[in-house]
Amino acid sequence: MKTVEIKPDIYWVGVIDWAIRDFHGYVTPHGTTYNNFLIKDEQVTLVDCVKHEFASTTIGNIKTLVDPSKVVNLIVNHIEPDHCGAIGELMSFMPQATIYITERGKKGLERYADTSSWTIKTVKSGDTLNIGKYTLHFLETPMLHWPDSMVTYVKEAKLLISQDAFGQHLATSQRFDDEFLGCYPLFELEDAVKDYYANILMPFGQLIKAKIAEIVKLGLEIDMIAPDHGIIWRGNPGKIIQMYLDMADGKADLSVAIVYDTMWHSTEMMTIPIMEGIKDEGVGCKVITLRASPMSVAIKEFWKARGTLIGTPTLNNVIFPSVAEFLYHVGGLRPKNRLMGAFGSYGWGGGGVKESYEVIKKMGLEVFEPGIQVIYKPTAEDKLKCYEFGREFARKVKEYHKKFE
């Protein structure tokens, strides 16, 4: 694969993974990239590795620039296997290289690879490494995305190599945001950023805000942000920082997501008048059928909307399993600044809607009550009630949304 010089003597030597559709359970319809960077300085330095199956690709890329045995420093910003899976094969080509990694990274790496013959130096925030004309500054970013994580700032190049942060699962022939936007609409890039954030970084919003504030306080001049996934922010790095600040604050569209599943179509029949009620209040509404949609798509649509209604049948007096999976998944992502309610059908006893509210309340989100339930199959009268329920929910979403304008 052709390497790309992103800054003088700093090269992208990564991999485009066009084919991946399941990224540890997370659906990636647009593939991804594993970005790593070779710095041809007095001390040849590699920043980050790639996934195991692409070891030979990145080694081939490096060989077009230098003999891999000349690499003397390997910076490991993050040990998750999509970045570190190839480290064993890479180190077999550069056995003399010194690995720079956080203390927690070293402990984790020792679990993933046989490190006994490698030279490893641990670094912490504020540590630097001069490699010639460039100086690398390390900044720990614990939990962004794992406890070991750090970023590497190349001062003289005004380049932040940010590992997972600011990334997107997006396989493209373009390497930079300005190139991508010359070929594709902005929406595609923004949607990929939101998808990645919603599914991976949503729980860490406050940490993200604090880390961005720390970078601002340090006065780091940044004119390029190079994440380990997706496009590199060259044309407008400020855009991705602002997007992250907005997402960390729980910014959402004035819209509603209806996330539901159904057994004999009764709950499904309720979604239509509810959606029409929402629409007639002038609020956009997307209906996500859990049985037909990957979980990560439902999570993204939940995250983009200010309000979400959960639709569940009752099965054995509790929530329908796919809806329970969605709610518990959302709960683990610790969302904020969202309004939620629930509706559903039952045959006898009920319980699904009641339990949905119990789970929603545990998330600490704004709650729209009461929910609406129908027995067996909605009648024409029930459908009218569903329509009014949708209208009322949309009115409450509009009112709640004003708090964030």
Q: Which residues of the chain form contacts with ligand FEO (CB under 6 A)?
A: 78, 80, 82-83, 145-146, 164, 228-229
CA distances in angstroms from 8 to 40, 43, 138, 178, listed in the order given: 9, 15, 20, 18
Nearest one of 3, 357, 47, 53 to 227, comparing CA atoms: 47
Q: Smallest distance from the beta carbon of 140 to ligand FEO, in angstroms?
A: 15
Ramachandran assignment for 234, one of left (phi > 0), alpha (psi -120 to 50 degrees), beta (any other):
alpha
CA distances in angstroms from 311 to 25, 290, 375, listed in the order given: 23, 10, 14
Q: Is 30 a catalytic residue?
A: no
Instruction: Please give the Cα distance from 379 to 312 (Å, whole number).
Output: 17
Catalytic choice (17, 164, 195, 366): 164
Q: Is 82 a catalytic residue?
A: yes
What phi, psi does 269 have (nearest 5°)?
Answer: -65, -30
Q: Is 401 a catalytic residue?
A: no
Q: Is 376 a catalytic residue?
A: no
Catalytic choice (196, 260, 346, 400): 196
Q: Smallest distance from the beta carbon of 392 to ligand FEO, in angstroms?
A: 41
- Residue-level length of the chain: 405
Q: Smallest distance from the beta carbon of 51 to ligand FEO, in angstroms?
A: 9
Nearer to ligand FEO, 34 or 100 (CB): 34
Instruction: Please give the Cα distance from 120 to 339 (Å, whole number).
Output: 48
Q: Smallest distance from the beta carbon of 162 to ligand FEO, in angstroms?
A: 11
Q: Is 110 a catalytic residue?
A: no
Q: Is 184 a catalytic residue?
A: no
Nearer to ligand FEO, 175 or 229 (CB): 229
Nearer to ligand FEO, 80 or 195 (CB): 80
Instruction: Please give the Cα distance from 296 to 294 (Å, whole number).
Output: 5
Q: Is 265 a catalytic residue?
A: no
Nearer to ligand FEO, 163 or 293 (CB): 163
Catalytic residues: 24, 78, 80, 82, 145, 164, 196, 229
